[in-house]
Structure 1
Amino acid sequence: MQRSRAAVLAAFTSAALVLLAPVAANAAAPSRTAMEPGAATNPSIIVATADAGLSADEDGKVLSSLRSGNDEAAKDLAKSLQGARPDVVVLTGIDVDSSAATVDVLREQYLEKAQDGTQPITYSFVFAPQTNSGVASGADLDEDGTVGGPGDALGHGAFEGQESMVVLSRLPIDNSAVRTFDSMLWKDLPGNHVKQAGYSSLVTSTLPLQSTSLWDVPLTVGSSTVHVLATSATPAGGSEAADEQRHEDQLSFLTRYSSGDASLKSIVDDQGRPGPLAASARTVVVGSLGADADQNDAGSSSVQSFLDAAGAGTVAPSWGSDRSRAAAPFVWSAPLRKLLDDSARSTRIGVEDSGRFDYVVPSSEMRTQRSGMAKAATDQPTGVSSRLVWVSLSR
């Protein structure tokens, strides 16, 4: 029986990581950041993202596991963050309840405790409001003949807060200037594709653009402000027929919002403030973009269009380098080299949709110093292995 591309990739992953791990370990030691002594005059910041692998099929299950103090995914994630030491990190793929207890336990019992000899790390500033994940829509969005269930939520989820996201920061968050976009309707985006999605007029009158959310979280970095645009886009190849159109429009909105596009002057955030960011704002888009630009799958072209507009072609950290493979005592065949290249650039390994889904994309006003990856976590039920992506930036 012929094996799938993802299965073959997963089979070679262990070998690839053995070869490339020394390079990745070196990459995960970024230089001085804004939170360290002597950096105040010309501060740099390390911005990171990862799929936390902390989501379960039942509400409260992740919280219970975390409270045991022995959650392996949380330990892996903590070790990764303690090694890379980002100043701000956007975690996706995490169940977040209304009180953010999951986030508190993660910080207190894992991040603030040494993992295998690493130094604890403290994130004093947290942004973890509820998102659209798992919120009932009251409509049969997945057209299975029944109203209710994960496919009928405003954002796919079996309960509110499933597969949500959180921002952890060592830098102060300007809470008075935070903007969120949970409530903005899909139909209100200029040039939207909601009609192609095939929903009724009743559904389109209530369906938001964001399946999770888009957050504009301003951080104080020295005397400047850096806007972290946290996102967890709809997977373009998801179970619902409309996922690809929704994903395309989410990335279109993100592109236009971050660039100050005048076409968004009429949009309003959850706080009642209109319009996009100023074109001159320092921004970093952080999180999951919902597809891999290089795999020619659903959503690939939308991700590539976003990256092209952001001018981010050179910011593409990987788990290794050609130099590490060239030094090997044998020659890789072209197919195996491609498999290892795919493995090195992927941020999630072990499922059919393995690939680079997680990004840190700075605006042109920010200067990229270094970037890299580190192992983040392995989701025990699914076996999906994720990687932390980090980028060191300066003003």
Structure 2
Amino acid sequence: MTFAMFKLEQHPLRTALYDELHSRPFQVIPCPAKVTHIALLTTPEQKTAQFEHLCELHRLMGVPEPREDVRCYEKSFGSFRLRREQHMEFASYTFINLCAAGGQSDPFAETGLTPLPAGWLDQLAGQVVAAFHLQLQHVTHPPEADISIIRPAFEGSRLVGSCPQNGSARVWGSFRLHSDGFGRFMVLNNSMSNSQLGRLTQRLMEIETYRLMSLLAVSLARDISPDLSDMDQQLARITQSLADHHHVDEKAILEELTDMAASIEAFRARSTFRFSATRAYHRLVLTRLEELRENEMSGHLTIREFMTRRLTPAVKTCESVAYRLEDLSRRVDRASDMMRTRVDLSIQNQNQALLSSMDKRSQVQLMMQHTVEGLSFVVISYYLVGLLKYLLDATYDAGLTFDKSLVIGGMIPVVMFLVWLSVRRIHHKFIKLAEKKQDKL
């Protein structure tokens, strides 16, 4: 959208930010009316199929099809109205029948689904989570007569009722599935305008839908809880064995801890989104209950009291399992750190023992080297004296007269000294080379 008189640069989302607050406006519902609300868990593919199925409804009703799929779509087919809303993980349909016949013995004999073409609803893609009827009618009797008149419409179920909006209407419900597979609410309008009635109806639909969506995690929490208890006991046994300083098989314990960590991560992958969604839906339910501004009807739980008593413990159960998952994950990490520390210390002790053994072997090798050097010193001296003896023999045979025994005896100390001096110089030379290499490193 462009604004002719507005010359400043526009953020690309500015228009969308304004439209966001008006994307799901409250409906204006006249009284009497029969309303049916259905919420279905959907995948992206199913949402596409739902839009195509919505277009098919328009063709069956003889009206133009919608051009594009939007988050909130409303269409009136004369006295029949349809509203479709897309949420993060579910889509909801609200069917409003404004020409329902009155005076029937069963108020729910005719519903918001009655004007739909036969078979259309059966082909709707998705998994139904919430499905309930709302009967909106004017008050024709005093509050004291409500139970005797309304209870048959709820098939004898125990009723929850209140006077929302400071007594402007009376609301009855059972929060149960009835014989037709739908839940039921009855709204008796006393002095509400069509706009107020539409807002009240919207809040009731959201309370029931979000209540059921928040409870999706309860089954998952119950499935996970026994496994968490088993792992908790297993971890307690492992940490106790570490605390007792008993000899343990580090490799086996590390394998157990690794298996537990893998199982916990698998549980977290399954449950993190579901538990987070439960907390969000629960907060929405509490917000909508606040907006009802209920007054109590004598002898009956209000909707808020019923939700607080029944829904909140279920949500707390999910939060408890989520906390146990996180706590168990941290404890497994700490136990793994302790085991790795034990393994590291064991490896260091082994390395220290190995270094001590190598040091001892080095000392033995050094002693052997000194022994070999001593022997080599004698051997080299012996061979040098032998070579010099050949030289003296040749000189003596050439006619030079001298005492060979005396000369050879005098040469031995000189040769041995020279050999010792040479070996020592060579030894020091190698030591200096080694020291220079060490300094470079």
Shorter-normalised TM range? under 0.3
TM-score by length of 1: 0.25
Tell me the TM-score normalized by structure 2: 0.24
Higher RCO structure (Cα 8 Å, ≥6 apart):
1
Query: Which structure: larger Rg?
Result: 2
Structure with the bigger percentage of helix: 2
Higher strand fraction: Structure 1 or Structure 2?
A: 1
